[in-house]
Amino acid sequence: MRNLPDDTEQVTRKGKPASAPERRCILTGETGERGAMIRLALGPDGQVAPDVRAKAPGRGAWIAVNKVALHAALDKGKLKGALVRAFKTGPIAIPATLADDIAIAFERAALDRLGLEARAGTLLTGADRIDTAARSGQVRLLLHASDAAADGRGKRDQSWRVGEGEEGSGRQGRVLPVDRMRLSMALGRDNVVHIAIIDANAANRVASICNRWQNYLDCDKDAGNSDLVPDLPGTGPLGVSGN
């Protein structure tokens, strides 16, 4: 049997990482930047598992669909057929919970990132601290727990708009698909309802994983959840301040 290549990192002929490597979705046939797609890894035992951080060794296949579409592909047997064609190897096993496993993996990755930023001192919590920082133009990205009260979100959003000189723009923070209890556990702090990222690079790191996570859950259509663009300073509707 021929050896299957390890596709965890694409490199140039000079051995340097290639910029913006593209992958092909095995379900839709569309190509796109791998940073916007989801990698499925094949284990030595033939078990398929989510690899949302794209770091697992060995052979992988890529998909660019949301959770609803993946459920449909699983139910109709389309995913298994696509994986068999992609891997060209022995029997494979796909867990029935794969679509949910990916959502859980995204949540873990996003919360881990927020935890790292908390330890690095690049984020703030607490309504008063966030409002003060926002009104002085220090906030690069604003996040809310899913169970944050509407009036609390509105006050933080308004402070952010004032600081960015965008009063009346309707600009809003991102509503995350996790509640305050999960956020509090991830950050090791009490009652985390709102989060303000005060560093531009940190905002892009958080925006990148949150964008992928929420696109997969298809909750970017909700109010305040306009797309976040990773690795680029955003303005206005993108939800990341580049000031």
Delimiting residues of CATH 3.30.1330.30 domain(s) in the chain = 101-238
pLDDT band of 19, cuts 50, 70, 90: low
**Average pLDDT value for the chain:** 85
CATH 3.30.1230.10 domain extents, the chain: 22-96
- The string of pLDDT tens digits covering residues 38-53 is 999 999 899 999 999 9
Instruction: Tell which residue, 126, 135, 44, has the closest CA to residue 92.
Output: 44
For the stretch 82-131, pLDDT in tens is 999 999 888 899 999 999 999 999 999 999 999 999 999 999 999 999 99
pLDDT of residue 89: 82
At residue 168 the predicted structure's pLDDT band, cuts being 50, 70 and 90, is: confident
CA distance 42 to 61: 8
Question: In this model, does residue 10 exceed pLDDT 80?
Answer: no
pTM for this prediction: 0.83
> CATH: 3.30.1330.30, 3.50.50.60, 2.40.70.10, 3.30.365.10. Which one for 101-238?
3.30.1330.30
Q: Is 7 left (phi over 0), alpha (psi -120 to 50) or beta?
A: alpha
Lowest-pLDDT range, 80-94, 125-139, 198-212? 80-94
Long-range contacts, stretch 6-11, CB < 8 angstroms, 24+ apart: 6/57, 6/58, 6/59, 7/59, 7/60, 8/54, 8/55, 8/56, 8/57, 8/58, 8/60, 10/34
Report the interhelical angle of 98-120 vs 67-75 (nearest 10°). Answer: 150
**pLDDT of the residue at 230:** 38
Q: Once rounded to an integer, what is the mean pLDDT over residues 23-30?
A: 95
Q: Which CATH superfamily is domain 22-96 in?
A: YlxR-like (3.30.1230.10)
Name the token pair of 232.
């680029």
**pLDDT higher for 197 or 14?**
197
pLDDT for 215-230, tens place per residue?
999 985 444 444 343 3
Q: How confident is the model at residue 210 (pLDDT cuts 50, 70, 90)?
A: very high
pLDDT of residue 20: 65
Per-residue pLDDT at 21:
82
